[in-house]
A and B are shown apart, each in its own frame.
Chain A
Amino acid sequence: MSILERISNLDRRIIFLTVAIAVIVPLFLPLRLPIEVTPPVQQLYDVIDSMPARSVVLISIDYDPSGAPELQPATLSIMRHCFAKDLRVLVLGLWAPGVPLGVSALEEVAVGEFGKEYGVDFVNFGYKPGGAVTLVNLGRDVHDVCRQDHNGTPVDSLSMMDDVRAANDIGLVISMSMGIPGSDQWIWYYHARYRGNLATAQTAIGAPKYYQYLQSGQLVGLIGGMKGAAEYERLVGRRGLATVGMDSQSISHLLIIGFVLLGNIIYWLEKRKK
């Protein structure tokens, strides 16, 4: 068997192994490659940075644990930025399995790092079923959709919610999204009716689609995948899991580019040989 044939019949498990090595090695030997902040991420940072103190930011946890490696670092960084600017944070989720992730992020950042008070500085309404219908009603009457918080406390007994009644009381909505229902529903059913500032953080698979909404002005910012989260971590000045993962990303991307080139060269040589 010629070298060409051996390479073209390479056991795919060798490729899996090399990708795993490319991801693991930088965890032990970090390269600390530079992370450049792209305009869509900077735009979101600037919007939050320019909001007056005590404004309300709604963070919608529209992902489950499989999206956590990409979206949880972004959620944590955005919350850090909001609380550092003394903004009030309202959390809800269109994905039920995302609720514990939202709770954990609030416990880590709001309570653990900033000592914020529940009901005054932040509120968690947990999972909100209904997708599109819920969002249409949410913009009209927040108290009607969110009658109780995640722990069953009536909304009227949460002082933060006294002046948060409808869409125009919310300064910014950020959908941390990995599918449906998620950013699409926020754009189509919420933003289309109530306008206001809307941004999204997406898993990398979903991100390309949302650049069009950024260009049309429907979104004020976009965080794409772990790379976008790493950019936001850089902006808030705190290295997190996304920044740690960027070396692994870069090395494995180089490896995959190498595989793609090799595959094409072999394809071309085999075609020429025939």
Chain B
Amino acid sequence: MLMTSGPWVWIAGLLTLAIYSFLYKDNPFYKVAEYIFVGLSAGYWAVFLWWNYAYPNLFVPLGEGNYWNIIPIVLGFMMFTQLSKRTSWLVRFPLTFVLGVSLGLQVIAAVEGDMVPQLQGTFSPFAKGALFNTYNFWTSIGLIVLLVGVLSTLTYFFFSREHKGVLGVTSKIGVYFLMVAFGASFGYTIMARISLLFGRLHFLLSDWMHILR
């Protein structure tokens, strides 16, 4: 039976059409849907942050006698001191704390999670000296292409000398690798966008209109 869904599916269906109507031209239906989205998001996140971050992680443990939590609560309230010119200097303390923690985490992440394993992954097949013995032919070719790609792309971003001669040729090869990477990203982006469109159209045709089974 057509169009017999519940009220929430109807609301979702109508809002979807209102948002897509922008593709024709800007109109009041689109504006209404946009404002509803912005308003709901603001309200949702305000309530959400309180009940999922502040209340269970700060105030509940504080009520159970964990008085160390006073420190983050005070630091949190100090963020509001920037609202007044007279007290705005106090905001440096919580910001410094956040920067320090973030930096510590990021440095470890960059070295342990990215730089070292990626260097190992790129160079270790060659360091072992057993490229064609350990891996099959096409994997070995792939690893060589990978190494050429890494080195030539790095060369492209080496700006301390003019890109002439060997440096120029290598950086030019690096540009081609970058182009292939951008092309792959563009292709994947199209795939993602079509997936989103498919998801919405499938919802409209099946969950809302019941045309599709």
Would A244 and B192 count as touching, CB distance under 8 A? Answer: no
Q: Is B73 an interface position by the 8 A CB rule?
A: no
Question: What per-residue 1/0 map shows which CB atoms of A38-79 lie under 8 Å from chain B?
Answer: 000000000000000000000000000010111000000000
Residue of A nearest to B113 (CB): A188
Would A208 and B188 count as touching, CB distance under 8 A? Answer: yes
Q: What are 23 of the A-B contact pairs (CB < 8 Å)?
A: A23-B194, A28-B212, A69-B196, A70-B199, A127-B52, A129-B52, A132-B105, A188-B110, A188-B114, A189-B109, A189-B113, A192-B112, A208-B181, A213-B117, A215-B146, A218-B121, A224-B188, A225-B192, A241-B202, A248-B194, A248-B198, A249-B191, A253-B190
Would B52 and A27 count as touching, CB distance under 8 A? Answer: no
Q: Is A9 an interface position by the 8 A CB rule?
A: no
Distance in angstroms from B14 CB to nearest chain A CB is 17
Would B23 and A204 count as touching, CB distance under 8 A? Answer: no
Q: Is B118 an interface position by the 8 A CB rule?
A: yes
Question: What per-residue 1/0 map shows which CB atoms of A224-248 lie under 8 Å from chain B?
Answer: 1111000000000000010011001
- Identify which of B184, B191, B200 contacts A227 (C-beta below 8 A): B191
Would B192 and A24 count as touching, CB distance under 8 A? Answer: no
CB-CB under 8 A from B201, the residues of chain A are 20, 23-24, 27
Would B184 and A249 count as touching, CB distance under 8 A? Answer: no
Would B197 and A20 count as touching, CB distance under 8 A? Answer: yes
Question: What per-residue 1/0 map shows which CB atoms of B44-60 lie under 8 Å from chain A?
Answer: 00001000110001000
A16-B109 contact, Cβ under 8 Å, with A207-B188, A226-B198, A253-B191: no
CB-CB under 8 A from B146, the residues of chain A are 215
Distance in angstroms from B59 CB to nearest chain A CB is 14
The contact size tier of chain B is: 35 or more
Would B113 and A69 count as touching, CB distance under 8 A? Answer: no
A225-B195 contact, Cβ under 8 Å, with A16-B23, A208-B181: yes
A244-B195 contact, Cβ under 8 Å, with A132-B105, A204-B188, A216-B118: no
Would A204 and B198 count as touching, CB distance under 8 A? Answer: no
Distance in angstroms from A47 CB to nearest chain B CB is 18
The distance in angstroms between the C-alpha atoms of A191 and B52, with both chains bound, is 25
* B42-82 at interface with A (beta carbon < 8 Å): 48, 52-53, 57
CB-CB under 8 A from B202, the residues of chain A are 27, 69, 241, 244-245
Question: What per-residue 1/0 map shows which CB atoms of A77-104 lie under 8 Å from chain B?
Answer: 0000000000000000000100000000
Would B113 and A192 count as touching, CB distance under 8 A? Answer: yes
- Identify which of B57, B113, B118, B185 contacts A208 (C-beta below 8 A): B185
The distance in angstroms between the C-alpha atoms of A188 and B202, with both chains bound, is 36
Would B52 and A205 count as touching, CB distance under 8 A? Answer: no
Q: Is A203 an interface position by the 8 A CB rule?
A: yes
